[in-house]
């Protein structure tokens, strides 16, 4: 059996060259070994922590947590769907809440300055991941805990710490007197948020704001900090979290190593996924993950198969990349949609996350170029890299498409 090794130019064709069975077999088996533990892929769940503070000193702290948060692999762990949750006994639901409380106590530290760490007595309820009441059988079940209190006299600041030892992000958001604070912090394990200045919101005067605290009324650098926080999150969404998106980008790269096809494909993909990322995040379109994820997987397989059987760069390839980019954008958007970002912080979050995604994609292409630069002969490059690499990517895409559908 042979596969054509023509270079990716408009309408070009050339002599066929044979497979390299030993290399191909080793790559395929390595790919399948990885896939054996990675059938379904979706975003790693965040833990949103929201503070709502009023001028009279009342405060409400809200936290949301998914059962996937403490799984060995939160990204690969399946959602607890409402249709399964309905069969849980009262004892099973109580045990689930016990696990959630234990995880929060061990890994999320809530602080009021100068008091230090606090242990709120949250009242929990089970809701859908969208923040709405559970209704659809396919709704992903999470728990939302609320704690209402009166700020003690002398409190000067509010802060959250994401303690080491877990694998999810903590998202720190606040509202003061009904106005969403412009700064949002996305915390990876081991990181601390900024301190929100709460002076003036307690029933008795405080000794002054905590050093370095951010004003609760205004924050001139808040938009920039939110933007940068989302850039980090977007990059992490691709590297190392987004294996399916990584394989798609590698599929684009394997068509050709010359600058024109790479630049055109990446630009087209970026334009397309930016459109749907914005529309979905802003709430203009909504497509369930059960539909989006299998199509993303199929797009990976199709791009890789074209590298094998129709390795030509042209308008058809770019049109296909654009269409698939629209679908990938819906997948990217799920992370921001789940966070339910306040309107004042939406633009910075959207732009930052998109920039982070682009940087992640460019990092993958840069690494791929560096890893293959030593192979100067294009026929050897196709035989040693393009054919086995595209075959492995195609197998991954087919496997994921089937597993995400059934």
135 and 32 in a common domain: no
Considering only CA atoms, which of 250, 258, 160 is closest in space to residue 214?
A: 160
For residue 81, give both structure tokens: 């769907």
130 and 168 in a common domain: yes
Helices (H), 204-342: 222-238, 243-253, 259-281, 289-309, 315-339
Q: Is the pLDDT of residue 31 over 50?
A: no
Q: Is the pLDDT of residue 20 over 90?
A: no
CA–CA dist 401, 280 (Å, integer): 22
Q: Is the pLDDT of residue 104 over 60?
A: yes
Residue 124 within any structural domain of the chain: yes
CA–CA dist 17, 151 (Å, integer): 74
pTM, two decimals, is 0.79
CA–CA dist 90, 318 (Å, integer): 54
Q: How many CA atoms lie within 13 A of 403 on its CB side?
A: 17
Q: Are 27 and 392 in contact (CB under 8 A)?
A: yes
Convert the pLDDT of each residue in 175-224 to its tens digit: 999 988 889 999 999 999 999 999 877 655 545 555 555 655 555 566 78
Domain of residue 292 covers: 2-41+242-405
Distances (CA, A) of 289 to 277, 326, 328: 14, 14, 11
Q: Is the pLDDT of residue 41 over 70?
A: no
Q: Is the pLDDT of residue 40 over 60?
A: no
266 and 190 in a common domain: no
100 and 8 in a common domain: no
Of 162, 188, 219, the residue that ends a domain is: 219
Helix (H), strand (E) at residue 46: strand 46-53
Task: Tell me what the pLDDT averaged over the chain comes to.
Answer: 86
Q: How many domains does the chain have?
A: 2
Predicted confidence at residue 342, as pLDDT, reads 79
> CB under 8 Å to 309, separation ≥6 — which residues?
3, 4
- Sign, CA torsion 313/318/323/329: positive
255 and 171 in a common domain: no
141 and 285 in a common domain: no
Share of the chain above pLDDT 90, in %: 65
For residue 112, give both structure tokens: 């009021």
Convert the pLDDT of each residue in 230-265 to its tens digit: 999 999 989 988 899 999 999 999 998 888 999 999
Question: Scanning the structure block, which residue is given the tokens 């074209």?
Answer: 306
Convert the pLDDT of each residue in 42-65 to its tens digit: 577 899 999 999 988 999 999 999
Maximum average pLDDT range among 73-82, 199-208, 213-222, 361-370: 361-370
């Amino acid at each position: 059996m042979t596969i054509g090794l023509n270079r990716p130019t408009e309408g070009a064709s050339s002599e066929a060259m044979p497979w390299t069975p030993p290399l191909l077999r080793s790559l395929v088996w390595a790919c399948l070994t990885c896939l054996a533990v990675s059938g379904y892929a979706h975003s790693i769940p965040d833990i949103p922590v929201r503070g709502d503070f009023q001028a009279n000193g009342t405060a409400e702290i809200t936290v949301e947590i998914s059962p996937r948060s403490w799984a060995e692999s939160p990204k690969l762990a399946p959602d607890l769907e409402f249709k399964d949750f309905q069969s849980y006994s009262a004892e099973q639901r109580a045990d689930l809440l016990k696990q959630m409380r234990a995880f929060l106590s061990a890994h999320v530290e809530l602080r009021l300055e100068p008091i230090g760490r606090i242990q709120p007595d949250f009242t929990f309820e089970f809701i859908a991941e969208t923040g709405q009441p559970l209704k659809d059988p396919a709704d992903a079940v999470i728990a939302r805990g609320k704690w209402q209190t009166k700020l003690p006299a002398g409190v000067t600041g509010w802060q959250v710490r994401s303690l080491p030892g877990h694998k999810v992000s903590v998202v720190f958001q606040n509202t003061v007197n009904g106005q969403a604070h412009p700064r949002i912090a996305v915390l990876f394990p081991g990181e601390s948020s900024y301190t929100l200045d709460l002076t003036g919101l307690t029933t008795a005067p405080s000794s002054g704001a905590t050093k370095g605290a951010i004003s609760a009324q205004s924050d001139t650098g808040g938009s920039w900090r939110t933007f940068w926080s989302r850039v980090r999150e977007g990059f992490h969404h691709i590297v190392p979290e987004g294996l399916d998106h990584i394989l798609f980008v590698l599929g684009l790269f394997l068509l050709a190593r010359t600058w024109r096809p790479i630049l055109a494909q990446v630009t087209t993909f970026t334009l397309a996924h930016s459109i749907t990322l914005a529309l979905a995040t802003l709430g203009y379109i909504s497509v369930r993950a059960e539909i989006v994820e299998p199509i993303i997987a199929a797009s990976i397989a199709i791009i890789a198969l074209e590298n094998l059987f129709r390795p030509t760069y042209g308008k058809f390839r770019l049109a296909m990349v654009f269409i698939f980019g629209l679908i990938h954008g819906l997948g990217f958007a799920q992370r921001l949609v789940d966070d339910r970002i306040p309107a004042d912080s939406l633009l910075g979050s959207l732009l930052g996350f998109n920039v982070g995604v682009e940087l992640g994609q460019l990092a993958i292409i840069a690494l791929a170029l560096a890893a293959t630069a030593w192979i100067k002969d294009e026929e050897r490059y196709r035989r040693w890299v393009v054919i086995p690499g595209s075959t492995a990517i195609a197998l991954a895409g087919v496997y994921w498409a089937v597993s995400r559908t059934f």
